[in-house]
Amino acid sequence: MCLVVFAWQHRPGLPLVLAANRDEFLKRPTARAAFWTEAPDLLAGRDLEAGGTWLGVTRTGRVAFLTNHRDPRSHREGAPSRGALVVEFLKGNESPGDFLQRKKGDAARFNGFHLVVSDLSELWYFTNTEGGPRRLPPGIHGISNGPVDEPWPKVRRSTERLARVLEAPAAPEPEALLDLLSDRERAADAELPSTGIPLEWERLLSSAFIESEAYGTRSSTVLLVSADGRVRFVERTFEGGRPSHPDVDVGFSPPR
């Protein structure tokens, strides 16, 4: 996943609002979001190559998502799947802080990642590229392939758009958040981050929604959690930049 913007305890009545794009090579096999057979409480898409996921939620009110850290100089072939971290949290019962403190001990085994985990009472962030786990404060946050709230152009534009959506009197609808994720505008060269990849790739990856022959946005996901515990999960998948199936739209309420 290469872009996640989320509002944590920012708008009354909606403790968590999330909009995310997963960008991946088009040839990598992927399953659409569904409840997993071996873990019936877990709702997520699935990377069929490594078996993990990039974003998921459970009927018990656990949420986790992850983006890769972009630094080709530090990438190691054969490192374990980062998507397994998301699955491990979602299948477990540790508090977010305890889980991340425990995983900090073996985080160096993985290629760079940015991981957010929550039990809907608190929300924590950890990257194995710098520092330790920390609890994120209420507000609007964004992550691409750098640290949380790093002001990359698409993070800045998308968090600003999310703020405008949440300022409207009416509760946000999934379609407004999916529209936010469909932004194909690329950043000017002067605004681009320098992450060690060629300039043509920095340009390609600078938009919220990415299209190319071999790599691009494979799915867009919206998560809305209301104060009464109601969860709505909407996923739209793409092939060649166009929606490829009817949306997955699931709602449920975790037990209290």
Name the packing angle between helices 174-181 and 153-167 (round to 10°).
160
| Tokens 């790739």 belong to residue | 201
Q: If you average pLDDT over residues 51-68, what whole number do you get?
A: 97
SS3 content of the chain, % helix, strand, coil (to 5): 20, 35, 40
Domains and CATH numbers, the chain: 3-252 (3.60.60.10)
Under 8 Å between Cβ of 240 and 37: no
- pLDDT at residue 254, as a whole number: 75
User: How many CB atoms neighbour CB 86 within 10 A?
Assistant: 26
Distance between CA atoms of residues 15 and 228, nearest Å? 10
- pLDDT at residue 143, as a whole number: 98
Under 8 Å between Cβ of 13 and 171: yes
Torsion of CA 75, 78, 79, 83, to 10 degrees: 100
Q: If you average pLDDT over residues 227-241, what whole number do you get?
A: 95
Percent of the chain with pLDDT over 90: 96
Q: Is the pLDDT at 186 greater than 70, yes or no? A: yes
Q: Is the pLDDT at 221 greater than 70, yes or no? A: yes
Structure letter (DSSP) for residue 1? -
Q: Is 120 left (phi over 0), alpha (psi -120 to 50) or beta?
A: left
Cα distance from N-terminal residue to C-terminal residue, the chain:
30
Structure letter (DSSP) for residue 151? -
- pLDDT at residue 225, as a whole number: 97
Token couple for 217: 């946005």
Q: Is the pLDDT at 56 greater than 70, yes or no? A: yes
Cα distances (Å, whole numbers) of residue 3 to 20, 59, 158, 214: 5, 24, 9, 18
- pLDDT at residue 176, as a whole number: 98
Distance between CA atoms of residues 87 and 65, nearest Å? 9
Distance between CA atoms of residues 35 and 206, nearest Å? 32
> Which pLDDT tens digit goes with each residue over 125-147?
999 999 999 999 999 999 999 99
Instruction: Of 4, 141, 15, give the one whose Cα is nearest residue 86.
Output: 4
Q: Which regions of 37-159 does DSSP assign to beta strands (E)?
A: 39-47, 55-58, 63-68, 113-118, 123-127, 134-135, 139-143
Question: For residue 96, what are the contacts with CB-CB under 8 A and spacing of at least 6?
Answer: 89, 117, 118, 119, 122, 123, 124, 135
Q: Is the pLDDT at 1 greater than 70, yes or no? A: no
Mean model confidence pLDDT for the chain = 96
- pLDDT at residue 255, as a whole number: 73
For residue 206, which amino acid is it?
Answer: S
